Amino acid sequence: MAKAVVLLSGGLDSAVALYVAKNRGFDVIALSFDYGQRHSRELRAAREIAVKAGVTDHQMVSLNMNSWGGSSLTDKNIEVENGDLDRSDIPVTYVPARNMIFLSIAASVAEANEAQNIFIGVSQVDYSGYVDCRQEFIDAMEKAINLGTVMGAERNMPIKVHAPFVNMTKAEEIKLGMELRVDFSLTWSCYRGGEKPCGTCDSCLLRAKAFAEAGFEDPALL
Amino acid sequence: MAKAVVLLSGGLDSAVALYVAKNRGFDVIALSFDYGQRHSRELRAAREIAVKAGVTDHQMVSLNMNSWGGSSLTDKNIEVENGDLDRSDIPVTYVPARNMIFLSIAASVAEANEAQNIFIGVSQVDYSGYVDCRQEFIDAMEKAINLGTVMGAERNMPIKVHAPFVNMTKAEEIKLGMELRVDFSLTWSCYRGGEKPCGTCDSCLLRAKAFAEAGFEDPALL
């Protein structure tokens, strides 16, 4: 059974990515990051999603990204602002080079486990200022991964980076997730943490809009 | 004064890279990694080198690479073997995708500090099975960095990855380091740790050979 490393944040996108990987028949290694994010609520979600999906290999990586900051998600001196989906500038929740770091570590885990597949739940459609969610970035990383690992560069075991939603809207993702029986009640999107989603940050607004477009109620709010 | 992030392991190569960056007039942010390596002796070396070079911003990143292993440098169940410079296979000291992870984190630190330069002391000449020391990998990473950061992709502030020794032998590096007054007595190359270098691992053998070729005694052995 071919192995796949799936980046699992605990959010909606990565949960669907996990089910897509399982649905394609991969033996999944889930990979989550404790990177000094403002709250650990999403890590609890990641654990619950992995258990529900029957993933037995769930690796947690610790990385003190908060020590160099540059984002409201890792620097508690910067406030998470209320959302505005029409804004075109870079949100303060942007974490410098985060997906690059996550994909690099996924490549290392993939090589240590001889997995030739990595899944990441990015989309360039609902792209809100995150440059590292675009197909051309994913392609550049895949190339770097295959030049920078022995599997890719010398053993003729190239590693493929799958971004199954890169050209899908979040509403389309939700529809797909519903078909694959993702338990969205376990997923966590809110930037602010707490016991219930705040409903006002960018991430909550995007999620609410997508559920409405998909024609479903958000099970996390029931 | 333009800023540069310098990857500083505490070894010979990164020490010379630090002095090259300083010599080119950059304001240096040194970046070291506590990544679950077998010994912390090289981190002590990194701290001492940074202090000696007058670097005031030295950042330490913690990352539990030992949790997924795959290398004798991070997995204590794998022995460090004695060196053999004529061997052509991949050494067990290879750490999967290590330079990719280090460069990705350097890119994040660079972006958080608006630094447009990253220095890494790799060489493809004395290359002993490390695919992530080659120019084509460095080029691929530079491209990914500039697609995956806002500085590179949207702000027209591209980040340059400098690998000043990529086409130099270690002996040439040592000669350059001597000109730049690098204090090699502070650098640590041995894979095994301990109070004195073992003299028998790959890294000790490479270093001894390079000092001999350069025509210097190794100050770390005096």
In 10 A of CB A127, how many CB atoms? 12
Whole-number Å distance between alpha carbons of B134 and A62: 28
Which whole number is the average pLDDT over A169-184?
97
The pLDDT value recorded for residue B71 is: 65
The pLDDT value recorded for residue B158 is: 98
The better pLDDT of the pair A133, B68 is held by A133
Whole-number Å distance between alpha carbons of A153 and A7: 23
The pLDDT value recorded for residue A25 is: 98
pLDDT single digits (tens) B172-221: 999 999 999 999 999 999 988 788 999 998 889 999 999 999 999 999 99
In this structure, what DSSP letter does residue B159 have? P
Q: Which residues of A21-53 are buried (b: 16+ CB within 10 A; e: fewer)?
A: bbeeebbbbbbbbbbbbbeebbbebbbbbbebb
Q: Name the helix (H) or strand (E) containing A171.
A: helix A170-179
Q: pLDDT band for position A65 (50/70/90)?
A: confident
The pLDDT value recorded for residue B61 is: 93
The pLDDT value recorded for residue B174 is: 98
CA-wise closest residue to B2 among B97, B84, B119, B92: B119
Which whole number is the average pLDDT over B133-151?
96
Which whole number is the average pLDDT over B141-170?
96
Burial of A102 (0-12, 13-18, 19+ CB in 10 A): buried
pLDDT higher than threshold 60 for residue A207:
yes
Residues of A in contact with B96 (CB under 8 A): 107-112, 149-150
Residue type, A198: C
The pLDDT value recorded for residue B56 is: 94
% pLDDT > 90, chain A: 73
Cβ-nearest to A100 among B64, B131, B145: B145
Which whole number is the average pLDDT over B61-67?
87
Q: Nearest C-alpha of chain B: how many angstroms from A71? A: 8
Q: Nearest C-alpha of chain A: how many angstroms from B92? A: 12
Average pLDDT over chain A reads 90
pLDDT single digits (tens) B18-47: 999 999 999 999 999 998 776 788 999 999
The pLDDT value recorded for residue A125 is: 83
Cβ-nearest to B144 among A67, A141, A154: A141
Q: ipTM of the assembly? A: 0.91
Q: Which residues of A165-194 are buried (b: 16+ CB within 10 A; e: fewer)?
A: bbebbbbbbbbbbeeeebebebbbbbbbee
Residues of B in contact with A136 (CB under 8 A): 147
For chain B, the domain total comes to 1
CB B52 within 8 A of CB B187: no
Per-range mean pLDDT, top range of A198-202, A212-216, A218-222:
A212-216
% pLDDT > 70, chain B: 86
Which chain A residue's Cα is nearest to B72? A112
**Model pTM score:** 0.92
Host domain of residue B11: 3-221
Q: pLDDT band for position B81 (50/70/90)?
A: low
Gyration radius of chain A over CA positions: 17
CATH number for the domain that contains residue B114: 3.40.50.620
Which whole number is the average pLDDT over B141-145?
98
Which whole number is the average pLDDT over A33-44?
85
Hey, are the CB atoms on A90 and B150 less than 8 Å from each other?
yes
pLDDT single digits (tens) A68-104: 866 666 665 666 667 666 655 556 667 889 999 999 9
CA A84 to chain CA mean position, Å: 21
The pLDDT value recorded for residue B15 is: 98
The pLDDT value recorded for residue B85 is: 64
pLDDT single digits (tens) B90-135: 566 678 899 999 999 999 999 999 999 999 999 988 666 689 999 9
Whole-number Å distance between alpha carbons of B206 and B186: 17
Hey, are the CB atoms on B113 and A59 less than 8 Å from each other?
no
